[in-house]
């Protein structure tokens, strides 16, 4: 069952990669790309919630904290940013994080799949623990720039916000919530990045690293 789930997720991101390449080759522009792949993206990115279950039951031996932060942030980007604010879907920053996510997930799930089959080619292991060095900062930049681009629309429309007075006597401002989300990248991104650097040293260089329980 685990093999099947890993294969399905890997196949999903391959489908997305092919769709993005075909779109760009046909249109010669990134405008409209997000709209053309949004259904597939929403399905497979939401499907990633199963990763938390995999961590919990030990199918995938990785940090629950790191996986939780990564999965939740991506689902947030898909459902509460790019899907909800259609005016930003053609931003170059959206394409930036989409390309990064796609390459990262194809590499990562190929690694997990071949590892489960006990037949892991070295080039896949190398890609898994080297490509992130560039991809993770670029992806984070794409996400932050996309949220930043969304701020004027959120402020103007008041979307997802709750103003006083109301029957619940509670207020919530989505604009300031997004500012807080952006600020949280400062402490959270280094944790994810340095976790991967430690894993890289352990897997590729054979270092023995003792990590604290997350």
Q: Cα–Cα distance between 85 and 70 in angstroms, integer?
A: 21
Residue 201's Cβ-count burial label (10 Å; 0-12, 13-18, 19+) is middle
Q: Which residues are catalytic?
A: 136, 143
Inter-CA distances, 173 with 79, 129, 176, 179, 180, Å: 18, 39, 6, 10, 11
Peptide bond into 89 cis (omega under 30): no
The answer to whether 129 touches 175, Cβ cutoff 8 Å, is no
């Amino acid at each position: 069952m685990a093999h099947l789930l890993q294969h399905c997720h890997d196949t999903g991101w391959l489908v997305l990669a092919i769709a993005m390449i075909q779109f760009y080759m046909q249109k010669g522009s990134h405008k409209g790309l997000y709209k053309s792949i949004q259904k597939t993206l929403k399905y497979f990115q939401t499907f990633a919630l199963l990763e938390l279950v995999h961590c919990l039951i030990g199918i995938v031996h990785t940090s629950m904290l790191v996986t939780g932060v990564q999965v939740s942030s991506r689902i947030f980007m898909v459902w509460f940013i790019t899907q909800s604010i259609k005016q930003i879907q053609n931003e170059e920053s959206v394409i930036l994080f989409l390309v990064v996510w796609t390459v990262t997930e194809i590499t990562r799930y190929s690694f997990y799949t071949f590892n489960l089959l006990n037949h892991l080619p070295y080039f896949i292991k190398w890609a898994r623990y080297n490509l992130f060095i560039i991809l993770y900062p670029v992806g984070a930049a794409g996400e932050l720039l996309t949220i930043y681009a969304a701020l004027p629309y959120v402020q103007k429309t008041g979307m997802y916000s709750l103003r006083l007075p109301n029957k619940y006597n509670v207020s919530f401002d989505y604009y300031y919530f997004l500012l807080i989300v952006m600020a949280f990248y400062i402490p959270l991104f280094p944790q994810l990045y340095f976790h991967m650097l430690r894993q890289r040293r352990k897997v590729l260089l054979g270092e023995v690293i003792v990590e604290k329980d997350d």
